[in-house]
Copies of this chain bind each other. A is one copy, B any other.
Amino acid sequence: MIRVWERRYGTVQPERSEGNQRFYSEEDVQRLALLKQATDAGHPISNITHLSVPHLRALLSPQGTSGDAPLPRVQLPAASPTRNAEQLIEAALKAVVGMDSAALEKILEEGAVTLGQNALLLQVIAPLVQRIGEEWQKGTLRIVHEHQASAVIRTFLGRAARPLAMHASAPVLVAATPAGQLHEIGAALVAAAASNQGWRVVYLGPSLPAEEIASAARQNGARVVALSIVHPADDPNLPDELRRLRQLLPDSVTVVAGGRSAEGYRDALFETRANLCGSLADFSSALDLLRQGVN
């Protein structure tokens, strides 16, 4: 059954061994269990294959159990030939240089439908943001392009990160950008990814002093503080900010840092015992570990 789902809809894409045998991740297993429940409850598999674990929980838990009631249909009609992640990125870049925000938005939505939110974040949006950053540094793209694209992506992520029926017991993550870091897109990306993985996300936005981040973390009982460090790669104040943040946070809170320029502050990050992530995928798996209590 599972293999047929994989063949027909790409429900999961497990790692393979040398001999081509499948290795399912913990998440795959969870997701498949939930999908089984959902299909047993009558949801057509084609409509829900790409939903993430929290989405599925939301679909199953709340009030749908009204008995033998007729079942809800989800999702949109699929029309055009589906594009893969790379094609979507290329199309998105074209929309960016053309300053066509409506087209960019459409592309992102298409990806959400065909790839699922999680894959969209990891395989399309994260690389796209990076590409835009690179092209901007090379001078191929103007500042406007970068800003406009950021605005569209920011909006999309805000929509993607909407908390759906969230358990009160979900672990809390605070996402922000330290003072002086003005690019918020990385933090928004992280927030969306975490939300997708079932964290309760407190999103604070860009350029917050250490005291403020710490205060938010305490007030919300956060287990993780995620920082995105992208643009000024040589801010002399940032190391102090990071150290101060560590002092203000309880020891039980883990700091995770990522972003294009995070490497540049390696020493300060080491002092704050921060988990340095090179990519969104890294971050994603780090979150999984942290949730299980492994610090």
Query: Which residues of A are interface residues toward B (Cβ below 8 A)?
Result: 15-18, 21, 23, 76-79, 99, 101-102, 105, 142-144, 147-148, 150-152, 154-156, 158-159, 162-163, 176, 182, 202-209, 212-213, 215-216, 219-220
Contacts and interface: CB of A to CB of B under 8 A. Distances in A.
Given A147-B206, A148-B216, 5 more contacts: A101-B202, A142-B212, A144-B216, A150-B205, A159-B159
A205 B153 CA distance: 11
A202 B145 CA distance: 11
Nearest to A18: B78
* 4 A-B pairs with the lowest CB-CB distances in the bound complex, closest first: A155-B158, A151-B205, A144-B212, A17-B77
Nearest to A217: B144
A143 B211 CA distance: 10
Number of copies: 2
Given A23-B77, A155-B158, A212-B142, A148 B18 contact: no
A208 B145 CA distance: 11
Contacts of A216: 99, 144, 148
A99 to B, nearest CB: 6
18 contacts: A15-B77, A16-B77, A18-B78, A23-B77, A99-B202, A99-B216, A101-B202, A102-B163, A143-B212, A144-B208, A144-B216, A147-B206, A147-B208, A147-B212, A148-B202, A152-B203, A154-B158, A159-B159
A207 B182 contact: yes
A209 B150 CA distance: 16
Contact of A78 (B17, B154, B213): B17
A266 to B, nearest CB: 27
B18 A79 contact: yes
Contacts of A155: 154-155, 158-159
A207 B150 CA distance: 13
Contacts of A79: 18
A43 to B, nearest CB: 15
A208 to B, nearest CB: 6
Contacts of A142: 212, 215
A87 to B, nearest CB: 19
A212 B148 CA distance: 11
Contacts of A203: 101, 148, 151-152
